Structures are given as structure tokens and as C-alpha cells.
Amino acid sequence: MVSFKELGLVNTREMFAKAIKGGYAIPAFNFNNMEQLQAIVKACAETKSPVILQVSKGARNYANQTLLRYMAQGAVEYAKELGWEHPQICLHLDHGDSFELCKSCVDFGFSSVMIDASHLPYEENIALTKKVVEYAHQYDVTVEAELGVLAGVEDEVSSAVSHYTKPEEVVDFATRTGCDSLAISIGTSHGAYKFTPEQCTRDPKTGKLVPPPLAFDVLDAIMEQLPGFPIVLHGSSSVPQEYVDMINATGGKLPDAVGIPEEQLRKAAKSAVCKINIDSDSRLAFTAAVRKVFAEKPGEFDPRKYCGPARDLMEELYKHKIINVLGSNGKAE
């Protein structure tokens, strides 16, 4: 058993309380490799932004949970080396799908876990979430739960259709489970294809797809039921068109990829939404930068020469999100 406190990590309790009060959101960035982690830590150290490092089941399968945990521990030291005196870094299990997985992360030094039982019937979601909360809280590890279903397909997270969170259920759910934060469904979705072209309209000037707006009325109703309770948005990548264009211009094929407009995330960040999950945008930045190097220098074969530019572009992306979308810069001086 290793406590996250020994590793210099923090849980989400204080982060979220401050974020709700201050009208900003904490970035929750997924990482699967060294370059992503370096870019996240550099961006957060430079902007003095608290951050949640997320490890998904797919990331564990790809990179190994032990390695990822030590990398997160190293991230705290790296942050200090970069001049960030008091780094506020949370290590979080993204989309945990069983009690055993959540327990193993708690025991291994994670400071926060998500138990995603949103696909189960309501009472089963409550029972599993409660079991995880009871275990995690013994070690001061915070727990994110989910009510409602997001649409979208990724490696380990998939559902064909979304079901908005029912505001009339949230008080009962939060009270009976004791969860620390609640991921809700209000129209965001995972991946780079958040909406089908049929769900969107087209901007007559640019021909680009314009996605349907998030259901802010559902968010408002949830906040009315649970005043001051930390709310989480998954599937919040914006799918920047510049990256999609870079990818498509260099032989890639991402037709009609579309995300959540940043304007809507900015609005959400000012509310009780205090954690915003971004993964796909980082994947797009990485891919766009690597493709550009290969297109311009077909003879390149030193991975540092294409992973380096990818890291730079991701750092730029993370800083942009922190400063211009979430407003978390300067909140972890």
C-alpha cells in the first residue's frame, strides 16, 4: 500500500472546491507516453495550473500501470525542477470499470479514481459506486462517478447513443453513494467524431460542420438540485480544425471530425463544472505534428525529430486550454 501523499500528489477535494468558487475548471489530460506527460507538466508549470493526470484502461494496457504511476511520481519532481514550487498534480484513474481496478489504483498511489458504472441499471451503479467510495475514502482518495451515458467510440469506452443525466436522480445518487464528483451527460461525447453530419448544421460560408449546442438547461437543473457539487464533463475535446486540416493535408483521412466548441466549454468552466476531460485534442496535435515532419522530411527516422515537434505542439495546445478555455492558470502558485 502506497499513499498518494508520499508521492507528492493531491486528491481533487481542495482543487474542486477552489475551482467552483473561482469560476474555472481543472484540466484533466490523459497521458499514455512520456511526450504527452512532459508537455502537460511543462504547460502546467509555466502557467501554474493545477492538473489532473488521467490514466485510462487503454493507457494501462498500452504503457503498463506501474510505469505510468512512476511517471506521474516523476512528474511531480520534474515540475519542481521547472520552478513550480508547489505543484498540484492529481493522478486519476479514468473510466475505472470494476471495484478491483479502483482498489488496485488506490493501493498503488493514485489520488483519485473514477468508477464508471453509468452503463449499469441505476441501483447497480449506486451499489458499485458506494463500494468504491467506502474503500477509497479510507485512504482519502477521491471518487468520481457517472450518471447518464455519453455517446462515442474509443478503444475502451463506447456507446452508440447518449442519454442525458436525469436531474431528478442526482441528489439521491450523490447522497447514497457519497461520491466526490459527478460526471454528467449533457451532449458531449468521446473521440474526434462527436456528432454525425446529420446532427450538425453547416456554416454556409466555410462549409464546416456546426455541432448542436450542449444541454445547458440540463446542467442548470442539475446544479439547482446539487448546489456547489463538483460536476465533470467527459468528451470535451474541441477537435481543432487546424489539426484536422494538417492531418488531412498530409495524407490523413479525418473527414467531418467535429468537437465541442471552446466557447461552450468556457461557459461550462464558469459553472459548477470543475473538471473538463481532454484527450482527443492531444492525439490530434501529436498526429498532426508527426505527419508534418514526415511530409516535409521523408528521410527522417530519428523518433526524437518527430516526437519532439509533437511534444511542442501538445504543450502549446495544453497552454491554450488552460489559459483561454478553462481559466485555471495561476491557480496553483
Q: According to the binding rule CB under 6 A, does residue 312 interact with ligand G3H? A: no
Q: What are the C-alpha distances in Å from 271 to residues 147, 264, 276?
A: 18, 11, 12
Give the residue with the Cβ less far from ligand G3H, 63 or 226. 63
> Which x/- pattern, by CB under 5 A, does the window 177-216 give for Zn ion?
----------------------------------------
> Which three-class secondary structure string do you get for the chain?
CCCHHHHCCCCCHHHHHHHHHHCCCEEEEECCCHHHHHHHHHHHHHHCCCEEEEECHHHHHHHCHHHHHHHHHHHHHHHHHCCCCCCCEEEEEEEECCHHHHHHHHHCCCCEEEECCCCCCHHHHHHHHHHHHHHHHCCCCEEEEEECECEEECCCCEECCCECCCHHHHHHHHHHHCCCEEEECCCCEECCECCCHHHCEECCCCCCEECCCCCHHHHHHHHHHCCCCCEEECCCCCCCHHHHHHHHHCCCCCCCCECCCHHHHHHHHCCCEEEEEECHHHHHHHHHHHHHHHHHCCCCCCHHHHHHHHHHHHHHHHHHHHHHHHCCCCCCC
* Pairwise CA distance, residues 205 & 195, whole Å: 20
Total residues contacting ligand G3H by CB under 6 A comes to 14
Among residue numbers 270 through 299, which ones bind ligand G3H (CB under 6 A)?
A: 279
Q: How far is the CB of 267 from ligand 13P (least distance, A)?
A: 17
By a kind-dependent CB cut-off of 5 to 8 A, residue 107 interacts, out of ligand 13P, ligand G3H, Zn ion, none, with none
Q: According to the binding rule CB under 6 A, does residue 59 interact with ligand G3H? A: yes
By a kind-dependent CB cut-off of 5 to 8 A, residue 58 interacts, out of Zn ion, ligand G3H, ligand 13P, none, with ligand G3H
Q: According to the binding rule CB under 6 A, does residue 155 interact with ligand G3H? A: yes
* Pairwise CA distance, residues 321 & 233, whole Å: 14
CA 87 to chain centre: 19
Among residue numbers 162 through 221, which ones bind ligand G3H (CB under 6 A)?
A: 190
Is 94 marked active-site?
A: yes
Q: How far is the CB of 279 from ligand G3H (least distance, A)?
A: 3
Q: According to the binding rule CB under 6 A, does residue 157 interact with ligand G3H? A: yes
Q: How far is the CB of 229 from ligand 13P (least distance, A)?
A: 19
**Which range, of 1-9, 52-60, 100-108, 208-216, touches ligand G3H by CB under 6 A?**
52-60
Among residue numbers 217 through 236, which ones bind ligand G3H (CB under 6 A)?
A: 234
Q: How far is the CB of 7 from ligand G3H (least distance, A)?
A: 22
Residue 286 in contact with residue 310, Cβ under 8 Å? yes
Among 58, 74, 261, 308, binds ligand G3H (CB under 6 A): 58
Among 10, 15, 25, 30, binds ligand G3H (CB under 6 A): 30
* Pairwise CA distance, residues 279 & 284, whole Å: 9
Q: According to the binding rule CB under 5 A, does residue 57 interact with Zn ion? A: no
Among residue numbers 224 through 283, which ones bind Zn ion (CB under 5 A)?
A: 234
State which residue has the least CB distance to Zn ion. 234
Give the residue with the Cβ less far from ligand 13P, 52 or 89. 52
Binding site for ligand 13P (CB under 6 A): 30, 94-95, 190-191, 234-237, 277-280
| Interface residue list for Zn ion (CB under 5 A) | 234
Residue positions annotated with a catalytic role? 94
| Interface residue list for ligand G3H (CB under 6 A) | 30, 56-59, 94-95, 154-157, 190, 234, 279
